[in-house]
Structure formats: structure tokens, C-alpha cells
């Protein structure tokens, strides 16, 4: 089955909702606060955050390569306090770089780009 670009494999929520949770965690919010803010069960949000955290270094490296390959004059994001935050920053940086080369990309969220680039597998058990 083909999935639309705005969802991730085996996830009910839109990529933007999951992305909002990841951004909030990178900014220092706790899982309960994020769950309340998004109106999602705590265990669901905890699962997203754990899955992303397990692959944070892999995700950071992958999206940094996307940023460098797609950018017209790429500038990798500055190092953050955690690998988790670095990975979130790399996704945002790749989105900005792709938008600088292909303006239409800027019309979608960074998390839709992440879903498209990973073929919906950003939080999948096996990552590209």
C-alpha cells in the first residue's frame, strides 16, 4: 500500500504532530507536558520520543547529508546540548537547505519532508 507523504509507517498521527513532539522534547519539555499539549496519550508520545532517541545519531547524520547534498550553500546547524536536539536541528536544516534549492519544498513542513525522505520510516524499527 502506498502511504501519503504526511504520515509515517505504523503511526496514526500526522508527521507534523509527531514532529511537534520531537521539537518540544529537543527544547526541553517533558513527555507529560508534550502529551497534554498535543492531546495524545502519554505512552504514545513516549514511544515516539524513545524511538527517535534510539536513532538520534543516525538521524542526525542522515539529515546532515541531505542538508549538504540539497543545499545551495549549506550551513550545518550548530551543535545543540543533546544528540536528540542535534537530530531535530538536522531535520530542520535539511528542510531549509532543500527549500533554498527547490522553493516548493518550503511550502511543506520539515516533518513532511522527513517523512518523504525516509519513505515514512523515520520512526520505523528498521531505519534506512
The answer to the question of residue 22 being in a domain is: yes
The answer to the question of residue 39 being in a domain is yes
Asked, for residue 8, whether it belongs to a domain, the answer is no
| pLDDT one-digit tens code per residue, 75-109 | 778 888 999 999 999 999 999 999 988 888 878 89
Helix, strand, coil distribution of the chain in percent, nearest 5: 60, 0, 35
pLDDT of residue 4: 66
Domain assignment of residue 1, yes or no: no
| 43 pLDDT higher than 90 | yes
Residue 128's pLDDT band, with cuts at 50, 70 and 90, is: low
| Residue at 4 is within a domain | no
Q: Is 7 helix (H, G, I), strand (E, B) or coil?
A: strand
pLDDT in tens, 2-33: 556 667 777 778 889 999 999 999 999 999 99
Asked if residue 110 belongs to a domain, the reply is: yes
Residue 69 lies in a domain: yes
Residue in the block written with cell 532543500: 98
The number of distinct structural domains making up the chain is 1
What residues make up the domain containing 81? 15-117
This prediction has a pTM of 0.89
Average pLDDT estimate for 103-122: 88
The per-residue pLDDT for 1 is 54
Write the CB contacts of 126 (distance below 8 Å, at least 6 apart in sequence).
Answer: none
Is residue 106 a part of any domain in this protein?
Answer: yes
| Nearest alpha carbon to residue 29 among 46, 11, 54, 8 | 46
Show Cβ contacts of residue 47 under 8 Å, excluding neighbours closer than 6 positions: none
Q: Confirm if 15 and 108 have CB atoms less than 8 A apart.
A: no
| Cα(81)–Cα(26) distance, integer angstroms | 9
CA distance 54 to 114: 17
Amino acid at each position: 500500500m502506498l502511504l501519503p507523504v504526511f504520515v509515517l509507517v505504523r503511526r496514526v498521527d500526522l508527521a507534523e504532530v509527531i514532529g511537534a513532539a520531537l521539537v518540544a522534547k529537543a527544547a526541553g519539555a517533558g513527555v507529560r507536558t508534550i502529551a497534554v499539549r498535543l492531546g495524545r496519550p502519554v505512552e504514545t508520545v513516549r514511544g515516539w520520543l524513545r524511538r527517535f532517541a534510539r536513532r538520534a545519531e543516525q538521524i542526525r547524520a542522515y539529515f546532515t547529508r541531505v542538508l549538504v547534498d540539497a543545499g545551495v550553500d549549506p550551513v550545518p546547524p550548530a551543535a545543540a546540548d543533546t544528540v536528540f536536539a542535534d537530530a531535530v536541528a538536522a531535520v530542520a536544516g535539511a528542510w531549509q537547505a532543500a527549500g533554498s534549492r527547490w522553493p516548493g519544498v518550503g511550502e511543506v513542513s520539515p516533518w513532511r519532508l522527513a517523512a518523504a525522505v525516509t519513505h515514512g520510516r523515520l520512526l520505523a524499527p528498521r531505519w534506512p
